[in-house]
Structures are given as structure tokens and as C-alpha cells.
Amino acid sequence: MNFLSTVEGSLLENFFPKGWDMKKMDECCEKGVEREDFWHKDFNPISCENIYEFDTLMGHEIAMQIKNAREKGEKLAMILPVGPMGMYRWAVYFLKEWNVKCDHVYTFNMDEWSDSEGNTLENTNPASFEYSMKEAFFDKLGENTIPPAQRNFAIKENLPTYPEKIAALKVEGAKLVLVFGIGRACHIAFWEPHFADEFSSVEEWKKQCYRIGAKLHPLTIEQNAITSFKSRTTLVPCRANTVGPGLFLQADYIIGGCDGSLGRGMGWQGMSFLTTLHYGPDMNITSSFMPTLPGKLFYLKELAGPLTAECN
């Protein structure tokens, strides 16, 4: 007997997104990080021994993109997450060591907690993503920081302006860099798998630039309860404002991170990571499009498996 044979008729039957092929996802978990034919030729997974190496390498990659654009005299647009977070400390370190001024950078935070109408937390609330970005990145850059007028946050009045702003920057020659983590439900930003049910084709799905007050999947809520709210599910918002594939799939370069190890052999991100690598592009698995873009996906090596049962 295996898990898949017990789903039918159980409470899990209507829990997982209906577009998920669970057998195919299980097969992805049996693979390592070998290349697939659908990967972009310049997409590369980068193994990290531990979280310290992970944070350093990912922060260095972010800083290098900013430094390279500066040296070329080009503007740089970046879609940024709040998580992973350790990378920002090292991005700041390298940029300050190199004395790189960041007034050529335009940032677009990919999401923010909200209610059903898209109203968000006050930016003075430590749980808000805007507060977190200022504390971890913008304020620590000091006098060379990204100008406040060039920072965009996913509040309901501003998120709808993202497509026009990014398009204008691209016309001016700006490179668009996507920095991201992969959710337990294989989301990018908070673009959830069940959103695919609303669209008749992947082409229509790919045109969606953002969503206000997006309804989050239970897997996402529990992931954030564990990673950001010390297990307190009652504090996790059930909705968020988020960018969609119409924006993040425009990326000219991606910097991804999977650091979902909890220690003592426990982790939450292994299946999401391997499904991302091997499932193949599918609008029911948002992250499955990431390997089709050029860039790097940093990961803790234990997430590559083997993903087998172990009591802890």
C-alpha cells in the first residue's frame, strides 16, 4: 500500500489542487537534479552545502546583477521576494564592499499579505513585507540605497501599475531580474496552483499580470505558519496581493532559492524543488516554468533527496 492508493475517499481527495498529477509528482521525487530537455540552456541548479553557503551565494548573485548593470550604465528592474531572507544581508555586504551606488535599480516586491479586498498591513507592522524589505535590505544599503521613489510594493493602489512601469523600463533597455523562492504548493510569488482552474488555456493564464486579494492554498498558509509565524496558523493571512505569470515570466534572468530544511532530517521543500525541476511546464504547477528561463536556482543539497520516510 502507498499514499497514492489511499487518497481516494479520504479528506485529502479534495485538498490537493485538482490539476495536480500526484503520480507524476511522485515520480519527480525519485529523480535528482539531472537536466531535462525543456530546461533553458542557461538554467542551472546550484547545490549548497548549508544555509550559510546558500545565503552567501544567493546574495552575491543579486549583488552581481546590480553591479553589472551599474558598470554597463543600464537600468535594472528586479522583482523581489520576502523569503528567502538571509541573501539580503550578503547582497548588502557585497554592494557596500564594492561601493556600488544603486540609484539605477527599480524594485517590485512580488506580493504582500492582504484581506479579500486587497487592503494590506500598515508598513510599520513587522509582519508586512514592506517593513521586512526596509529592515533587511533598503535601509542597510545606507547612502547608496535604491531611491524610495523607485521601490514598488504590492499594495492594491500600486500593484496594478507594475505592468506599465516594467514595460517602460524594458523599453529603456532595462534587464528584468526575478528573485524568488518556491512555495510548498509550487507557487511563485503567491500565484497559487488552483488559479489554473479559471483559465481555458495556458496562453490565457500567462497573460495574468497580478491579482488583488488572492485566495491562498492551505499548503501555503501552513508553510508560512511554520516558516514565518512560529507555527501560529491563526496569525497567517489567508489572502495576498501578488504578481502573476504575465510579469514574472518576462524575466530576462532568474535567481531562485530553495532553503526549506528544518534540521534533524526534516524539511518542507524537497518535493516542491524536484517537481519544479522535472514536472515540465504546466499552469497547475506554477514553478514548473522556472527551468525554462535563464538563471540559477540555489538549493540546499539535502532537498535533492533521496526523499524517503524517516522518523524524527
Q: Where are the beta strands (DSSP E) in the chain?
A: 43-48, 76-80, 105-109, 111-114, 151-152, 175-181, 210-215, 239-243, 253-258, 261-263, 266-267, 295-300
Q: For the chain, how far is it from start to end, CA to CA, in angstroms?
A: 22
Provide the residue-wise pLDDT of the chain in tens; the chain has 312 residues: 576 777 777 878 789 999 999 999 999 999 999 999 999 999 999 999 999 999 999 999 999 999 999 999 999 999 999 989 999 999 999 999 999 999 999 999 999 999 999 999 999 999 899 999 999 999 999 999 999 999 999 999 999 999 999 999 999 999 999 999 999 999 999 999 999 999 999 999 999 999 999 999 999 999 999 999 999 999 999 999 999 999 999 999 999 999 999 988 899 999 999 999 999 999 999 999 999 999 999 999 999 988 988 777
CB 102 within 8 A of CB 95: yes
**The CATH fold of domain 39-304:** Rossmann fold (3.40.50)
Domain locations in the chain?
Answer: 39-304
Q: For helices 86-97 and 51-72, what crossing angle results, to 10°?
A: 40
* pLDDT value of residue 260: 96
C-alpha cell at 95: 554592494
CB 292 within 8 A of CB 216: no
